[in-house]
Structure 1
Amino acid sequence: MHISQRALRSFVICFAILMLLPVAGTAIVGTGIVTLPLFFFTNTGALSCKPGNLWFGKVMVGGSNVLSARLSNTGTSNITISSVSVTGAGYSLSGLSFPMTLGPGNSAQFQVIFAPLVQGRVDGSIGFTSSASSSTLYVSLHGTGASTGVLSASPSSINFGTAGNNVTQLAALTNTGTASVTVQQISASGSGFAVSHAALPWTLASGQSATFSISFTPTAGSTSSGSVSIVSNAYDSTLSIPLTGAGASAGILSANPTSNSFGSVQVGSSASQYQSVTNSGGSNVNISQANVSGSGFSISGLNLPITLTPGQSYTFSTVFAPTSSGTASGSIAIVSDASNSSLT
Structure 2
Amino acid sequence: MLATVPSEMGDHHRSTGGCVGDRCAATRHYPWGAGWRRAGPSGRRRSPEIAWIRPSYGVFAMVHSLSRAAVVPLLVLLALEGCSCEEGPIQKTTGRIELGQGVVDFNKVCLGDRVEVPLPVYNRGTVPLLLDSVEISGSSAFTVVSAPERLAAAGQAGSEDVILLAFEPAAPGKVSADLVIASSDAERPEISARLTGEGDDGVRVDLALLCENEDGSMLDACPAALLFGDVAVGATKELPVVLENRGCAELYLTEYSVQNTVNEGFSVTGPELPASPEDEPVVISQTTQQTLVLTLAPDTPDAFTGTLSLSYLDHRVTETPESRSVNLIGQGVELQLIVEPAGFIFSEADVNTPQTQTFTVRNIGGQSGTIEDIQLRDGSPEFSIDAQGLPTTLAGGQSYTFDVTYAPTDAGRDEDALVVVTNAGNLDPVPIAGGAVPQIEVDPPTTVDFGMVQTGGFATADVTVRNVGRADLNVTALDFKLNPAMVFSIEAAPSLPVTLAPTQSFTATLRFDDNPSIGKDAQGMGQSELGELAIVSDDPSYADQGGEYLLVLATDTQANFGPTARLCIFADGMRKFVQPADVTVGQVVTFDAAGVNDSDPQCVSTDPENDPLTYTWTLRSAPMGATATLTSSSGQTTTLQPDFPGRWEVELQVEDPFGNQGTATSELSVTQP
Normalized against structure 1, the TM-score is what?
A: 0.33
Normalized against structure 2, the TM-score is what?
A: 0.18
Structure with higher RCO (Cα < 8 A, 6+ apart): 1
Structure with more of its chain in strand, by fraction: 1
